[in-house]
Chains A and B, each alone.
Chain A
Amino acid sequence: DSGVTQTPKHLITATGQRVTLRCSPRSGDLSVYWYQQSLDQGLQFLIQYYNGEERAKGNILERFSAQQFPDLHSELNLSSLELGDSALYFCASSALGTGVDEQYFGPGTRLTVT
């Protein structure tokens, strides 16, 4: 158990809908990262937050957004869902997010868009 929690574990929804994925980092970690794992694209970095502020953006679509709250949990919002958004979404956390610390991954949320 990495100490990173994600909810829900599974989500099935229809095209055009909006969903919210939630992540709680390890106790004491200030940085949260979101990743998408799909069969065709592999594991891709989406976005990083550090202590409530966006720190880095990767391949995140405009239809997707994230935020980190004062209690350091984070949410990833996916809207206008398409079939191609079906994937495993991981959250990771690290102590500082400075690039010299280790990331720990949650169990993931499996999203299926029908």
Chain B
Amino acid sequence: GIQVEQSPPDLILQEGANSTLRCNFSDSVNNLQWFHQNPWGQLINLFYIPSGTKQNGRLSATTVATERYSLLYISSSQTTDSGVYFCAVESNTGNQFYFGTGTSLTVIP
């Protein structure tokens, strides 16, 4: 299967700081999504981004499919951004879905 590696595994930020989370994947993919798992366990869609760049408020994401990585940018972080950020990909050879191990983000006031 596809290996999905996320870095860093853990991140602690002061409120207002910016950060970049990375997702590397080992093979070509059909699609890629970023999720935020909040402290209550809910998985919230952030971006559906198989390629290119998207922005939504303080968050933006870029996927370079040919180089097999995606980046999630969080600007002016807030305490509500705390939680675990996952990227997930689908293989292009048979509807298999793989999640990364996540980046645990803690934003302190």
Contacts and interface: CB of A to CB of B under 8 A. Distances in A.
Name the prevailing secondary structure of the B interface residues.
Answer: strand
Contacts of B96: 45, 56, 58
B7 to A, nearest CB: 15
Contacts of B31: 99-102
A24 interface: no
Contacts of B90: 99
Q: How large is the interface on B (under 10, 10 to 19, 20 to 34, 35 or more residues)?
A: 20 to 34
Interface residues on A, range: 20 to 34
Interface stretch (B16-24, B37-45, B60-68, B75-83): B37-45
A43 B30 contact: no
A55 B33 contact: no
Contacts of B41: 88, 107-108, 110
18 contacts: A35-B97, A42-B101, A42-B102, A43-B88, A56-B94, A56-B97, A99-B31, A99-B92, A100-B50, A101-B48, A102-B31, A102-B33, A102-B45, A103-B88, A103-B97, A105-B42, A107-B41, A110-B41
Instruction: Pick the 7 closest A-B CB pairs, nearest first.
Output: A56-B95, A43-B99, A99-B30, A105-B43, A102-B48, A45-B97, A99-B90
